[in-house]
Amino acid sequence: MSSRTKSIGILTAGGDCPGLNAAIRGVAKAAMHYGMSVVGVQDGFRGLVENRTIHLDGQSVSGLLTQGGTLLGTSRDKPHKMRMGSEVMDMTEVAIANMKKMNIDCLVCIGGNGTQKNAHRLRQATDIGVLTLPKTIDNDVGSTDITFGFDSAMCIATEAIDRLHTTATSHHRVIVCEIMGHDAGWLALGSGIAGGADVILIPEVPYDLEVVADHLRERRKHGKRFSIIAVAEGVRSILEVEAGEAEIAMLKAGEKKKKRKKSSPGLHVSEDGIPLVQEAVASRIARRLQTLTGVEARVTSLGHVQRGGQPSAADRLLATRLGTKAGELLADGVYDVMVAVQGTEILPVQLSEVAGVKKVVPPDHPWISTARLVETSLGDRR
């Protein structure tokens, strides 16, 4: 088969996650199978602007499947808003000029929500094609059932919760485990259910600490002298949500936003309003629950551990499927799409339909009902 695409560039952008190297390998090997030449762009969109590239061939992608991280490096830089020295500049035209120097027909961008938006914005400014793959441990990219990196991170978080059970049981403590997820609770919800957490708090379900404390006290009454709480880092209480809605209503009504010394429950400021310490949400929850229940509470924050290490078998398979499908689409000359998982199929979705769309946990999702049926509290009164 003769490929309509002769040369491609590949970059990885945004946060790192397991499976990036497997995806690079999948795209590159499939592209080479169809006779394309492959250029690797280093360190995301910044490498594109600074024209830092490497040639990818069969030898350079050999052995990548099982490796964590990314051979190409990554960054969170945006072409249209990039810091260059002491200034923030629009480097879109420079990025496009370098793409033309590379003589590529299409740029393959592997990343999460931010990458989808940046790739779409770049495509609108050039006639060079763009194709994307969805990756993120948060699983919050729209139009795809799952992103690679999610399964690996969920396995890591589940193992951490498993390990916390032993120390919580031994010391009869409440242990709050903070898991990544600013706006979407897929990771905390999935690992919380798999790890048997007694309470799971996610951004999509505003919580009431009195409800959580009641649940913990009820467990103690039934002889369960320890509890594990899985908390997504972006959770908000019912009071915080209501306060935010009230502030939005005030702004819509034309009222000026008043200066506050404390803009959130975890933010401490000096007398002149300078932020001093941002208390982690898990720490704040643990401290207040210890006061409400009288039970000793401890905090574990998994942080970037969730992004590290080798990809799981599921992520290796998924990243390879996405990558090879990308190669097939490129051979057919299909650009301006994200390669998505829908059911059992890998399908192209128009990038314009994906950019700016975040997938959060819906209230009627089966995982929500599953958690409730095994008597896991979600911090609300339902």
Active site residues: 138
Contacts for 245 with CB less than 8 Å, ≥ 6 apart: none
Secondary structure of residue 114 in the 3-state scheme: helix
Angle between helices 313-331 and 20-33 (to 10 degrees): 30
| Rounded CA separation 126/93 (Å) | 9
Residues 6+ apart with CB under 8 A from 380: 205, 206, 207, 208, 211, 238
H helix runs in the chain, sequence order: 20-33, 44-49, 58-61, 92-102, 113-123, 150-171, 186-195, 209-221, 238-252, 281-293, 313-331, 351-354, 366-373
| CB distance 38 to 28 below 8 Å | yes
The CA distance from 329 to 127, in Å, is 18
- Determine how many CB atoms are found less than 10 A away from the CB of residue 248: 10
Residue 41 to residue 341: CA distance in whole angstroms = 25
The pairing of beta strand 345-350 with beta strand 106-111: unpaired
Residue with tokens 């139009």: 143
Angstrom distance (rounded) from CA 61 to CA 351: 27
The distance of Cα 296 from the centroid of its chain, to the nearest Å, equals: 32
Residue count of the chain? 382
In angstroms, how far is the first alpha carbon of the chain from the final one? Answer: 58
| H helices, E strands: number in the chain | 13, 15
